[in-house]
Amino acid sequence: MSKSSQVLINAFLTERNTPNPLGDRSPTWGRHVEDLSMVDPGEIAESVVVIEPWEHVGERPKDKVGVIASENVAYIVDQILGLPTLIVPAWKHGISDLKRFASLASVAKLIVLEGGEPDVHVKDTFSQAF
C-alpha cells in the first residue's frame, strides 16, 4: 500500500468528530468478477482485489440478512482512497488456476482476503450489536 493510502486510511480511522467521515458521495460497492483473467491487467493494477472465500461472513440477528464484508470493504476503499474494487467470489466458482490468479492479483493496489475467526460459522460468537 502506498504511503498516501496509509495516510488517508489513518486519517479516517482517527476521525471521531465528523458525523459522517466518509462524506456524502454516492457509494460504490465494487464490481463482482467471476474470473480475474477476464479483466484488463491495467484495471487490476488500479484496483483493490477482494477475494470472497464464502458467500457472506454471517447474518445480522435482527433481519437474518447476510453480511457481505467485501462490499463494505469496496465502499470504504472507494470513499477513502477513491479506488475501484474488484470482488472475486471464490466461494461460487473456485479459482481454477491459482498461479495465474496470484500473478494477476499481485499487480493490484491491495489484496484483501475476506475472512474471520475459525468459528465464524457459529452464530453465537457474533456480536448482538446489530
User: Mean pLDDT highest for which of 18-27, 35-44, 50-59?
Assistant: 35-44
- With a cut of 70, say whether residue 128 has pLDDT above it: no
- With a cut of 90, say whether residue 103 has pLDDT above it: yes
* Distance (Å, whole) CA 79 – CA 24: 9
Angle 8-47-88 from CA coordinates, rounded to 5°: 120
* Distance (Å, whole) CA 127 – CA 22: 24
Report CA-CA distances (Å) from 103 to 1, 45, 97, 111, 125: 17, 11, 10, 12, 36
Question: 49 has which bridge partners?
Answer: 86, 111
Report the pLDDT value the prediction gives residue 20, as an integer from 0 to 100.
Answer: 66
Full-prediction pTM beyond 0.85? no
* Distance (Å, whole) CA 23 – CA 45: 26
